[in-house]
Amino acid sequence: MIFKPLNTPIKDWSACRVWLVGASSGIGAALAQDLLAQGAHVVVSARREETLKGVVAGYPNGHIHAFDVMQAADWPIALAQVEQVLGEIDLVVLGAARYDPQRSWEIDLATVQASYELNVISMYTGLHTLVPYLLKKPNRGVAIISSISGYTGLPRAMVYGATKAALKNLTETLYFELAPKGVSVYLINPGFVKTPMTAANDFHMPSLMTPEQAAQAIRAGFEKGLFEIAFPKGFATSLRWVAHLPYKLRFWLLHRMTNM
Identify the pLDDT of residue 155: 80
Strand partners, 187: 144, 228
d(CA 67, CA 22): 10
* Mean pLDDT within 185-208: 76
pTM score of the predicted model: 0.93
* CA-closest candidate to residue 204, choices 155, 242, 153, 258: 258
Q: Kindly indicate the confidence band of residue 80, based on its pLDDT and cuts at 50, 70 and 90.
A: very high
Q: What are phi and psi of 164, to 5 degrees?
A: -75, -30
Asked if 79 and 140 count as a contact pair (C-beta separation under 8 A), the reply is no
Q: Provide mean pLDDT across the span 83-92.
A: 97
| Per-residue pLDDT at 5 exceeds 70 | yes
Q: What is the mean pLDDT of residues 115-139?
A: 97
Can you tell me the mean pLDDT for 210-223? 96
200 has a pLDDT exceeding 70: no
Q: Is the pLDDT score of 93 beyond 70?
A: yes
pLDDT at 184: 98
Per-residue pLDDT, 199: 58
Mean pLDDT score of the chain: 93
| Rounded Cα gap, residues 221 and 7, in angstroms | 10
- The Cα–Cα gap between 178 and 184 comes to 7
Domain 13-258 homologous superfamily, CATH: NAD(P)-binding Rossmann-like Domain (3.40.50.720)
- Starting from the edge strand earliest in sequence, which strands make up the sheet with 141-145, in order? 62-64, 41-45, 17-21, 91-94, 141-145, 184-190, 228-231
Segment 83-111 mean pLDDT: 94
What pLDDT, on the 0 to 100 scale, is given for residue 250?
Answer: 93
- Report the helix count and the strand count for the chain, using DSSP H and E: 9, 7
In the chain, where the domains are located: 13-258
